[in-house]
Amino acid sequence: MSTSTAARPPQTTISDADPEAKLRANPVKILIGIVGMFLVLWGLGNLFLAFGYYPEKFGNKIIIGLLAIVGGVGGAYALFYFLNVFIEGLPARLAEGVIPYGFLLPGFLLVGLMLIYPTFQTINYSFANADSTAYVGLQNYRTIFSDGAFWTAIINNVLWLLIVPAVVVAFGVVVAVLSDKLSEFGERVAKSLIFMPMAISAVGAWAIWMLIYQYNTADKGAKDTGMLNAIWTTLGGEPQVWIQLQTGKFNSFLLMIVLIWLQAGFAMVLLSSAIKGVPDDTLEAARIDGATEFQIFWKVVIPQIWGTIITVFVTVFITVLKVFDIVYVATNGQYGTDVIANLFFNKLFAASEAGQATAIVVVLLIAITPLIVYQIRHFRAEENNR
């Protein structure tokens, strides 16, 4: 059985009929795009300024929140819509080259507005006086570097950095390996329980651990409600105000435990995923060669997940370098537990020393920049090795 179809005439486009079409712009679309983007930005700017200056006109904060969500999402949609109209109005060849940068530009502008500009402004204010009205040169840096409280915070931060990331990674690796040996149901339960603290804020986490470290200040003979004191007194010791024990920085170690508890789930998830990605044939080859499970772990598994270990370590390291909320709600830096971020907060809001506060932030920024650069290079190396 044979069928015959009529040959269809070749379809022609406007650009085929008119080769110069790709070189021509559409002024109407360009104008609509420019005017539309201007009106959207003008409207969003005035809307959010009105939230700040005239909140009473909107009734209550719930209405402001809803309007902010609708305005923000709708405004972003409208902005990109008019941006697309503008790009479509450009000559076709130019539009093809511009469109990726056009849609990335708002994101870059937002990053510049929210991150880059404040960074340079902070550096600028670090050379100014307490209320940022006159420049004082390097006086703020001389003041903080001669302040004993600053060096106490530095020492505490160094201790946090030496202990917390290493313990978090080690705990994450051990839990990931052990949970991998459980049944599927047991693995899900164990990982869920360990990951659960990640859903708790640092303030909420301290509220939980405060019940463990609590010391009953009532009359002698009153029963202590803190779990740690209950264990300690059962073993024959006297009740202690644990969070005030400065000997050997013991109270700082107690605060570190809270952050370790919070971050362990994050490390476990990433490291467990990396361990599951280790090829089975490498493990079987090691077993055939007579390697023990301990040797397989150290010489086969660890080298293959080393990239993930470094990623987790650096991420937790940066988190620890900026630690603030646990120290603030627990001691507010008292009893020798202060850290850089908490010292900055107190300098800015309690002492009203904006110059010294921004100088402390600049020191923190300088300390964290090499880590960010290293992490970016590490990510690029990981991508190149895939």
What's the pLDDT tens digit per position in 140-171? 999 999 999 999 999 999 999 999 999 999 99
Per-residue pLDDT of 238-281, as tens digits, reads 888 999 999 999 999 999 999 999 999 999 999 999 999 999 89
Residues 215-237 have a mean pLDDT of 76
Place of tokens 């402004």: 121
Whole-number Å distance between alpha carbons of 231 and 27: 79
Helix residue spans in the chain (DSSP H): 14-17, 27-53, 61-88, 92-111, 117-125, 139-145, 148-179, 184-195, 202-213, 227-234, 250-276, 280-288, 293-296, 302-304, 306-321, 325-330, 340-345, 354-385
Whole-number Å distance between alpha carbons of 266 and 169: 9
Mean pLDDT is highest, among 222-226, 259-263, 375-379, for 259-263
**Integer-rounded Cα radius of gyration of the chain:** 30
SS3 182: coil
For residue 298, pLDDT over 70 is answered with: yes
Buried b (16+ CB within 10 A) or exposed e, 202-232: beebbeebeebbbbeeeeeeeebebebbeeb
For residue 124, what are the CA distances in angstroms to 109, 112, 145, 150, 338?
A: 21, 16, 18, 21, 26
Q: How many CA atoms lie within 13 A of 288 on its CB side?
A: 6
User: Domains (ranges, CATH) in the chain?
Assistant: 19-125 (no CATH), 142-385 (1.10.3720.10)
